[in-house]
Amino acid sequence: MKKLHLFLMLALMIICGVACKSSKSDDSEKPEGKTLVLYYSQTGATKAVAEELQKQLGCDIDSIIAVNPYDGDYGQTISRWMQEKKDSAKVEVKPLNVNLDEYETIFLGFPIWGGTYALPMASFLADNILNDKNVVTFATFGSGGIEKATLDVAIALPGADVKEGYGVRNARVEKAPQEIKRFLIENDYVEGEIEPLPNFSEPTDVSDKEAVIFHAACDNYQFPLGNPVSVASRETPDGPEYEFGVKSPAPDGSETNAIIYVIAPQGQTPEFTRVIRE
Ligand SMILES: Cc1cc2nc3c(=O)[nH]c(=O)nc-3n(C[C@H](O)[C@H](O)[C@H](O)COP(=O)(O)O)c2cc1C
């Protein structure tokens, strides 16, 4: 009987030792934070980028859907958006499929409307505080706007750590897979190796040849993008890339400064990749 008692005590001590050890090691290791790609897309460009991000990050995905979708053509969408802006209307959106509490990092994507995030995203931001979460923006646009939109997201989410992420023109969405790969590796969102791009050269005056490249890239855009006044450049695997300092016409007729990036692959028409307005 005494032997049995001793044996049981010993067994209990061993079991307790193992259990205590494992619960201690569980406490000391932070659980791996989950990542979500969450986006609004009206015509599919942001959806394509969101799905590529989800694929490369290997994470969950969900979308914000307007109860009354913007299913008209471009002109109808512009008219409705202008009216809703004028009325300070809040566009109603459907509940999400996911529970946001489960996620530590959210890649938040939207099209740029009027220089910032689209209205359904504004509704989402008004209803969700995302405190203590990492928020990485991504966007598609006709010419640009992710910088200002990201500042606006940070204002809407003061308790979140908001960082600017990947942006691409809708005319270049097919370039997204390669560019997203570079973006995710360079910013340590995924592991991998990629040849770093060189820095741009010091800016100089624009040569005749560089002016031709600028105009070939920019003059077909639906809005005038202006004239280049300075240029820096670098070599990339896709060909030379230019960073033009530009005097650009503003919608009110005044002139503003902008930076316009242009890529000029060998034997192809140069393309502008992003406009950053001051
Ligand atoms: C109402 C409206 C406003 C827009 N405003 C801008 C803008 O200010 N700047 C810009 O670069 N593109 C603008 N665009 C173009 C969209 O950002 C672009 O088409 C985007 O890729 C659409 O994304 P989606 O296909 O995911 O809806 C606007 C489009 C709409 C419909």
Whole-model pTM: value is 0.89
**Which of 114, 60, 70, 117 is CA-nearest to residue 92?**
70
120 lines ligand 1 (CB under 6 A): no
Give the 3-state DSSP-derived string for 60-93, with helices as H, strands as E and coil as C. EEEECCECCCCCCCHHHHHHHHHHHHHCCCCCCE
- Torsion-angle region of 169 (φ positive above 0: left; ψ -120 to 50: alpha; else: beta): beta
For the CA of 115, the nearest atom of ligand 1: 8
CB 209 within 8 A of CB 248: no
pLDDT in tens, the chain (278 residues): 445 454 444 443 433 333 333 333 333 333 368 999 999 999 999 999 999 999 999 999 999 999 999 998 999 999 999 999 999 999 999 999 999 999 999 999 999 999 999 999 999 999 999 999 999 999 999 999 999 999 999 999 999 999 999 999 999 999 999 999 999 999 999 999 999 999 999 999 999 999 999 999 999 999 999 999 999 999 999 999 999 999 998 878 899 999 999 999 999 999 999 999 98
Separation of CA 168 and ligand 1 centre (Å): 11
Minimum CA distance residue for ligand 1 atom 17: 141
Q: Where are the domains of the chain?
A: 34-186, 208-277
**Among the atoms of ligand 1, which is closest to the Cα of residue 112?**
17
Q: How far apart are CA 122 and CA 131, in angstroms?
A: 17
41 C-beta closer than 6 A to ligand 1 = yes
- Say yes or no: domain 34-186 is CATH 3.40.50.360: yes
Pocket-testing residue among 141, 223, 277, ligand 1, by greatest number of atoms within 8 A of Cβ: 141
Sign of CA dihedral 196, 165, 278, 263: positive
- Of 39, 76, 112, the residue with max ligand 1 atoms within 8 A of its CB, to mutate for a pocket test, comes to 112
Q: Is 39 exposed, middle or buried (0-12, 13-18, 19+ CB in 10 A)?
A: buried
